[in-house]
Structure 1
């Protein structure tokens, strides 16, 4: 009996294109990492969780095989004008295994949080709280200092030191720099498994990500240097114009032109390097190799990637503000109307911290999910990577579970017949999606 892959009775379960004398990368072969636990192959198994039940199995045939073959065995349905409608794409996890539209990407980012809330939202809440607490304390102290002005509008504003004004914000930025960098890597690893419908614990995600931490920090540092060096040059230009005694109109014109040029430069570089963290985590690349990989993946889809990136930032900002606003407003009232008491400061800091944490714990994984799915979409469109995902998903459904070896499919140097190799990200496959 055929096993759904076109094999003959007694032949090893290998994908098309593999020689018979090569060991199969997955299957029910003894000792294979893809071998599913449970009863022997001759014993009927129950239908896998999350997949539609199929007809009763025949002798030696497990549940789940027939439903997987069904979309490919049925003829295309006839459209109203005679056009053939393609069969629906597989969707074992948070996205359909085909090139993604905008709705698929946004929906997949939301499903990432819903499919594994303990790991995704739990880690995001920790990272958000670490960054929100210093900021909340600094804002509570600053707002409490305004209490005398509320009681006496003619009172002079209090003198505040630089540390009082900006200390909390600077400490919050430093903490977020570390926490968000680590969170991005862990969430990207969780997303790689969620595409197949699998889940990952916090401990497993950290174990698989911790060796990528130096690369992630390296990417952040390189991006900061790329963005801040031109800004430093612009500041130096203004200082030179001031030293030369240039007129106000000349400085204004130069300032407007320099500002517009910097905005264009920042958007261009940020978009081109947006997929570097995903490449570093899922493909296990180094800093320079990840940047080069992102640059080539975005080629051919720059404007689409830029538009989705801007839309994601807008959505994240609005959602974060809506969630945090009631708590920040309540904390501000406590601080200003509390008469400068310690209790008012504590209550204000707690409310502001809760609001900022609540907003960030939703927006952090949403942004990380969109970036990770943009990476997957670009690989599907430029490398036909959806065919690799579909082949693996068929095997996983046939076995009824998602093995940890699915993580290796994202690495072109591990995937059989992968289109690219480390060190040569521009050597893509000749096939592509239009």
Structure 2
């Protein structure tokens, strides 16, 4: 969120910000990042708190100065702010994030779960129709899932960026962006996936490094209307100097995924399956697999948008003004 400082008293360390969303936010000197004081009328970027107070406040540069021209941003990458902004973006755009994810990711996930269970049941009972039907359902579900996942990326980026700049985004506007950038995002995923896959096969370290270097390429493609290879290069430039921080974020995401996966496996055992070769519980899979995919897709997409915004802030100036008009 962005806004303008209304008041700030050095003696008390308290102040107020008029957010671009029309809401007045209080703040304290301890909420400032990279400064101990701030002037009235200063444009700022901040994270709205649930209690109506502004947090993680950064003073914005007077104007955007490209890094290639010798300009520089605050140089400060705030690990906590990326996480906070990610979940704030999801909260502020919950209808778009979860509605789109349920439609574009959840439904295909149910189809793959049904196909997988039908295949395993047919194989166990030596039923050819069930095996064939299961394979077809599974493959169709995978195709629809891939299409939906790329559309969801564009939609969540649209909604998240709108929120960062104090703008409300409708489902229709977000859906239009998802459709518009589906093919470029698909091409980006193919190129990055093949390159990263080979890197993992050859040696795990290069694979992890490429994942970090290209972590915000999708956001760069959508936000800056770049081509596939331009977006990969842009992501490489933005992550340079902050790759350990990006690696830390990826580790947190992987650990959370493991925790969720372990919990789901435990529930599977409790409903009659096993960790290895137990019979599948169709009802259980039809609920849990789509739910996990919906949650992970939303968090991953919003996280990429938040990470991209933070990197732009650190390298090129806080809350860069040209982000506001990207989708106008």
State TM-score, norm by structure 1.
Answer: 0.54
Partner of 1:262 in structure 2?
A: 203
Q: Is the 1:193–1:199 contact (alpha carbons within 8 Å) kept by the matching residues of 2?
A: yes
Distance 1:209-1:288 versus aligned 2 partners, 3 A rule: same
1:361 to 267, 280, 294: 294
Question: Does residue 23 of structure 2 align to residue 50 of structure 1?
Answer: yes
Structure 1 residue 273: deviation in Å?
1.1
Partner of 2:36 in structure 1?
A: 85
Whole-Å separation in 2 of the counterparts to 1:327 and 1:202: 35
Structure 1 residue 196: deviation in Å?
2.6
Structure 1 residue 122: deviation in Å?
0.7
* Higher strand proportion (structure 1 or 2): 2
Whole-Å separation in 2 of the counterparts to 1:92 and 1:295: 26
Q: Is the 2:219–2:308 contact (alpha carbons within 8 Å) kept by the matching residues of 1?
A: yes
Partner of 1:388 in structure 2?
A: 320
Question: Helix, strand or coil: the match of 1:91?
Answer: strand
Q: Is the 1:93–1:196 contact (alpha carbons within 8 Å) kept by the matching residues of 2?
A: no
Partner of 1:252 in structure 2?
A: none
Partner of 2:70 in structure 1?
A: none
Q: Is the 1:121–1:365 contact (alpha carbons within 8 Å) kept by the matching residues of 2?
A: yes
Partner of 1:192 in structure 2?
A: 161
Q: Is the 2:312–2:320 contact (alpha carbons within 8 Å) kept by the matching residues of 1?
A: no
Partner of 1:372 in structure 2?
A: 305
| 1:299-314 equivalence runs, <5 A | 299-314=240-255
Whole-Å separation in 2 of the counterparts to 1:378 and 1:163: 48
Whole-Å separation in 2 of the counterparts to 1:144 and 1:209: 37
Structure 1 residue 147: deviation in Å?
7.5
Partner of 2:172 in structure 1?
A: 203
Q: Is the 2:104–2:152 contact (alpha carbons within 8 Å) kept by the matching residues of 1?
A: yes
Whole-Å separation in 1 of the counterparts to 2:150 and 2:266: 25
Q: Is the 1:109–1:370 contact (alpha carbons within 8 Å) kept by the matching residues of 2?
A: yes
Cα deviations across residues 167-222 of structure 1 (Å, max 9, x unaligned)?
A: 65544433322111111111011110111333212101122343222211110111
Partner of 2:85 in structure 1?
A: 108
Q: Is the 1:319–1:363 contact (alpha carbons within 8 Å) kept by the matching residues of 2?
A: no
Q: Is the 1:323–1:358 contact (alpha carbons within 8 Å) kept by the matching residues of 2?
A: no
Number of matched residues?
277
Whole-Å separation in 2 of the counterparts to 1:178 and 1:297: 27
Whole-Å separation in 2 of the counterparts to 1:143 and 1:332: 13
Partner of 2:13 in structure 1?
A: none
Larger radius of gyration: 1
1:291 to 212, 232, 240: 232
Cα deviations across residues 329-378 of structure 1 (Å, max 9, x unaligned)?
A: 54859xx88xxxxxxx9xx4343121112222211111112211111111
Partner of 1:131 in structure 2?
A: 108
Distance 1:218-1:189 versus aligned 2 partners, 3 A rule: same
Question: Helix, strand or coil: the match of 1:85?
Answer: coil
Structure 1 residue 49: deviation in Å?
4.2
Unaligned runs of 5+ in 1: 6-46, 53-66, 78-83, 149-157, 232-258, 338-344, 393-404, 415-434
Partner of 1:406 in structure 2?
A: 324
Structure 1 residue 100: deviation in Å?
4.7
Unaligned runs of 5+ in 2: 6-19, 50-54, 59-75
Which structure 1 residue ranges, 4+ long, deviate > 6 Å from structure 2?
159-162
Q: Is the 2:213–2:236 contact (alpha carbons within 8 Å) kept by the matching residues of 1?
A: yes
1:216 to 165, 169, 185: 185
Q: Is the 2:158–2:174 contact (alpha carbons within 8 Å) kept by the matching residues of 1?
A: yes
Partner of 2:143 in structure 1?
A: 174
Whole-Å separation in 1 of the counterparts to 2:157 and 2:269: 30
Question: Helix, strand or coil: the match of 2:324?
Answer: helix
Question: Helix, strand or coil: the match of 1:277?
Answer: helix
